[in-house]
Structure 1
Amino acid sequence: MREHEEPGCVFCAILRGEAEASIPYADDRVMVIMTIGAVTPGHLLVIPRVHAVGLEDLDEETSTHVWRIGHRMGRALRRSGLRCEGVNIFLADGKAAFQEVFHLHLHVFPRFKEDGFRIEADWGTRDRGLLDRDAEAVRSGLAALGSPD
């Protein structure tokens, strides 16, 4: 990971001060910007100052801080005076997950009735045997990661 040094990355350019941004919050590990591709007014992006394409590239301490600030921003949206009847916090990791800018970022945006945002899927109920098999696969993945300490 490199601190905002990825050539051609729009978020790295914003972090370097080379591209415009409306910034409601910044600290030594993250910058929060208002996104120009907003779902609703108040749509924020929490961006780590280190260039990480996705979760696999970001250390857990920085990731934890990104989520902590995302939580704080969600609470701030509810007190902001912007229309906010609910909050979505969303992270897209990889092209298949609809990531469009390949510098990890956490979306935090206010929701309200009939705001037009939808999450569509083929929601189904999975058989317990399949859930148990999936749980075993995740446990295997955790074992491969090793201890979080």
Structure 2
Amino acid sequence: MEPADCIFCKIVKGEIPCAKVYEDGQVLAFLDIAPVTPGHVLVIPKAHHADLFALPDSLGAALLAAQKRVGRAVMAAVGASGLNVQQNNAASAGQVVFHAHYHLIPRREGDGLRLWPGTPYADAAGMAAVAAAVREALASLE
């Protein structure tokens, strides 16, 4: 069930306008109103799902196919040489609209945009400990 105040659900229903670039039976893609770079597109499932973890696996192929198709078109349209695909889950990860969505951000060599600073693990043992913890968590989900 969708929340009454979900802006993306309102866009899907046509209650709020958008600069639509792609639509099929399950997916809608439109320009972000506050783009990181010109051509920044949001790809969303039409059905309301709060985040990646709420998305049914059955939507995966449709969302990926739309990202690939729209991503290629955006790059061609704006002359980009690369594309970032970003998806945020939960407020602490930067999610602002709690309807699953993917950002397609066109990039150019030397555009100065840095999305995240990488920090290496202090040592191999620390990296191995995190890998072991993730494997343990995966095993507990099975």
The TM tier, using the shorter chain, reads: 0.7 to 0.9
Match of 2:139 in 1: 143
Of the structure 1 ranges 57-66 and 89-98, higher mean CA displacement relative to structure 2 is found in 57-66
Structure 2 residue 46 is the aligned partner of structure 1 residue 36: no
Instruction: Look up the equivalent residue of 1:97 and give its one-letter code.
Output: A
**1:49 CA drift (Å):** 1.2
Per the alignment, do residues 68 and 132 of structure 1 end up closer, same or farther by CA in structure 2, a change over 3 Å counting?
farther
TM-score, normalisation: structure 2: 0.87
Q: 2:106 aligns with which of 106, 110, 121?
A: 110
Per the alignment, do residues 14 and 77 of structure 1 end up closer, same or farther by CA in structure 2, a change over 3 Å counting?
same
Which sections of structure 2, spanning at least 5 residues, go unmatched? none
Q: 2:24 aligns with which of 5, 18, 27?
A: 27
Q: Percent identity?
A: 35
**1:39 CA drift (Å):** 1.0
Count the aligned residue pairs: 142
SS in 2 for 1:11: helix
Would you say the 8 A contact 2:31–2:39 is kept in 1?
A: yes
CA RMSD of aligned residues (A): 1.9
Would you say the 8 A contact 2:80–2:108 is kept in 1?
A: yes
Per the alignment, do residues 67 and 138 of structure 1 end up closer, same or farther by CA in structure 2, a change over 3 Å counting?
farther
Match of 1:128 in 2: 124
Residues of 1 paired with 2:97 and 2:112: CA distance?
A: 22
SS in 2 for 1:92: coil
**1:89 CA drift (Å):** 0.6
**1:86 CA drift (Å):** 1.3
Per the alignment, do residues 90 and 131 of structure 1 end up closer, same or farther by CA in structure 2, a change over 3 Å counting?
same
Residues of 2 paired with 1:7 and 1:41: CA distance?
A: 30
Q: 1:11 aligns with which of 8, 12, 22?
A: 8
Would you say the 8 A contact 1:40–1:115 is kept in 2?
A: no
Match of 1:91 in 2: 87
